[in-house]
Structure 1
Amino acid sequence: MKIGIIGGGQLGRMLALAGTPLGQQFAFLDPAPDACAAALGEHLCAAYDDREQLRQLAEDADVVTFEFESVPAETVAFLEQHVPVFPNAESLRIARDRWFEKSMFRELGIPTPEFADIQCQADLNNAVQNIGLPAVLKTRTLGYDGKGQKLLRQPEDVIDAFAELGSVPCILEGFVPFTGEVSLVAVRSRDGDTRCYPLVHNTHEQGILRLSVASTEHPLQAQAENYAGRVLDKLNYVGVLAFEFFEVDGGLKANEIAPRVHNSGHWTIEGAECSQFENHLRAIAGLPLGSTAKVGESAMLNFIGEVPAVAKVTAIPDCHLHHYGKEFKPGRKVGHATLRCTDAAVLQSRIAEVQALID
């Protein structure tokens, strides 16, 4: 089976690494000449809206997926006319727009921070009066890793904030006094079989994920799975979906979903019976889903800007290096390490060893 992937970054690369043992082949459509996934399959170097190359991808592939939600929903809708695409265009349309996404949560009875649609500075001024400060102004689309947003703490921060974000449609979200950030990676097959990995505790710095630690019997696991199930069924979703939450007052409030394999799920490569990457491919290919059970105690640390010396990373016991083959640049995710240990105490020690190479 040949899998077409819109996007040729590290997620596409890791999908191909997971699918090759299944006998799958891959083609990537990505405008970057140096797309890091290209070494693992055919590379169609073209824009995401290039109809000629999209038709070529549809002809070559048995099924198509995408590795990030900045792909235009129109691209997926066009491909759906020619080849099976998972997740579907409606899932992408909602997930890539924070207003549509939060509105869906509200419709499904999933708690969220207060939010308001912002089309101009006057809308922002009125919303701040209703929601209060602090609050976060975010562009409705295209923002990620802390980009496309501004924290509003004081009234003076509100002045011209809409223009600062490019005078594009935005959403204002009330600031949540959370005690933790967690994410749930779930997978749903073509026939509706749904499985979830353990909740993951996430640590961000400057809006970029730095550390994910897989939990054991988290008290909010059932609640997270319930909320994710509502979304998966609503969208008739196929594939892996990540759901990010705030822990608030002993419960969960929805932050956002990602309609794809997710950074906070990288630990599953060594830390679960079947990784998020393999399970995504199983789902879209119509294969039975694999077990999401955790193996040992696991964590993932991102390498931002550069990867430490390979010899030093691989010298740490229980540590597995994943180098993306990308050019090193400040603020860029260029690799990660996953840790799989026998117990939580050893895991914390290993995390400190990897962090010492980063700091």
Structure 2
Amino acid sequence: MRQPLPPGATIGIVGGGQLGRMLAMAAARLGYSTAVLDPDQHAPAGQVAQKHIAAAYDDGRALEQLARSSDVITYEFENVPVGAIRSLEEWRPVHPPAEALEASQDRMSEKIFLNASGISTAPFAAVESDRDLARGLARFGHSGVLKTRRMGYDGKGQRVFRNATAEEIIGCFEGMGGTPLILEGLVNFVREVSVIAARSLNGAMAAYDPAENEHRNGILARSAVPAAISPSTAYTVRETAFTILDALDYVGVIGVEFFVLEDGSVLVNELAPRVHNSGHWTEAACAVSQFEQHIRAITGLPLGRTDRHSDCVMENILGGERRNMKRLLEEPNLMLHLYGKREARPGRKMGHFTRLTPAGAGGPKGSPSAE
């Protein structure tokens, strides 16, 4: 695809959650149609897309239908079967590449890739038995976080050990499902930040300001911009994201999460080959949101600038919470976004809102595109 996709072209989206919904909305603003593949008849993205294919992600006929309906294809979450993406690549350009999806789906493979790219992470060890777990904990001072290597998100599939005893280890491997696990050493960090970055078809890159994140029960609760980090740390996280984008020959938006240590150095916690919850603030505080940036990247359009016009705090609205929407909408300088989900379950992301305040005089600002 050498020329940008013209208005009226169709973007295929694998996954119909809130991220797919916001991608479809951004695509419409640029004159594109969208076709969504998601098994949920009431998927949020299906409510705003021009076409919704309600079928499993590995349904061969559905994948062919999506490919025939689309000029370019993307995905909105990292647990899409890699085989499905590779089959779509035989029909149409798919961004980001299947290699990025594959690297991020397995926590062990992800950390091996990051370390091979010269990027520091927490220490880690493979766990396929209680004996492996005991050995790993002994290496990491008898403390660590045990995680499933695949399919974990929002704190699911994790167990924390602090000064673990032999009794605590017995039966852990089977208790975690008897599937391959990874043990990560505990990191003494002062804050968590993330950066949303993008790479275009011609290799140009841009990054938004790092956000400082607060998690509750393993789920992102709020993201504040600017993050309380030094300009040098902000520079490091941006450059690290650019290194990852180049190493993967990536096209599209990526989210990279970091632990910031006391001395200002950073460790990468994980990466997400997609638009990211901690970047939702960009739709309120920037002229070009992360969602429009992704659409620009995968269609061959120029990347937008990432400057922010305001400081802000984004908060998730979770299913178990009761919020007075009328009160929120009465607040000045607040942007509310609901996802159209029918069922509100505890911990389920139902929407978010972003409070804006005038940008401070100091602190890092967004970067223009970088070749």
- TM-score interval for Structure 1 and Structure 2 normalised by the shorter chain: over 0.9
Aligned AA (2:57): Y
SS of 1:15's partner is helix
Query: Is the aligned partner of 1:29 residue 2:23?
Result: no
Give how far 1:309 is off.
2.9
Gaps of 5+ in 2: 1-8, 362-371
The aligned residue for residue 3 of structure 2 is none
* Number of equivalences: 345
Aligned AA (1:281): I
Give how far 1:344 is off.
5.8
Give how far 1:333 is off.
0.4
Pairs within 5 Å for 1:118-137: 118-137=127-146
Higher relative contact order (CA closer than 8 Å, sequence separation 6+): 2
The correspondence for 1:195, drawn from 206, 213, 218, is: 206
The correspondence for 2:151, drawn from 134, 142, 158, is: 142
The aligned residue for residue 161 of structure 2 is 152
Instruction: Tell me how far apart the structure 1 counterparts of residues 84 and 195 of structure 2 sit (CA, whole Å).
Output: 27
Instruction: Tell me how far apart the structure 1 counterparts of residues 169 and 288 of structure 2 sit (CA, whole Å).
Output: 46
Query: Is the aligned partner of 1:11 residue 2:19?
Result: yes
Contact 1:152 1:158 in 2 (8 A): no
Instruction: Tell me how far apart the structure 2 counterparts of residues 288 and 343 of structure 1 sit (CA, whole Å).
Output: 26
- More helix by percentage: 1
Gaps of 5+ in 1: 346-359
Query: Is the aligned partner of 1:318 residue 2:333?
Result: yes
The correspondence for 2:222, drawn from 211, 215, 225, is: 211
Query: Is the aligned partner of 1:271 residue 2:285?
Result: yes
Pairs within 5 Å for 1:159-170: 159-170=170-181
Aligned AA (2:335): H
Instruction: Tell me how far apart the structure 1 counterparts of residues 219 and 13 of structure 2 sit (CA, whole Å).
Output: 24
Q: Could you tell me the TM-score, scaled by structure 1's length?
A: 0.93
Instruction: Tell me how far apart the structure 2 counterparts of residues 61 and 273 of structure 1 sit (CA, whole Å).
Output: 27
Query: Is the aligned partner of 1:233 residue 2:254?
Result: no
SS of 1:144's partner is coil
Instruction: Tell me how far apart the structure 1 counterparts of residues 207 and 58 of structure 2 sit (CA, whole Å).
Output: 33
Pairs within 5 Å for 1:1-359: 1-41=9-49, 42-153=51-162, 154-155=164-165, 156-215=167-226, 218-219=230-231, 220-249=233-262, 250-305=264-319, 306=321, 308-326=323-341, 327-343=343-359
* Sequence identity percentage: 46
Instruction: Tell me how far apart the structure 2 counterparts of residues 307 and 38 of structure 1 sit (CA, whole Å).
Output: 26
RMSD of aligned alpha carbons: 1.4
SS of 1:339's partner is strand
Q: Could you tell me the TM-score, scaled by structure 2's length?
A: 0.90
Give how far 1:273 is off.
2.2
Give how far 1:218 is off.
4.1
Instruction: Tell me how far apart the structure 1 counterparts of residues 304 and 169 of structure 2 sit (CA, whole Å).
Output: 48
Segments ≥4 residues shifted beyond 3 Å: none
Instruction: Tell me how far apart the structure 1 counterparts of residues 139 and 324 of structure 2 sit (CA, whole Å).
Output: 51
The aligned residue for residue 349 of structure 1 is none
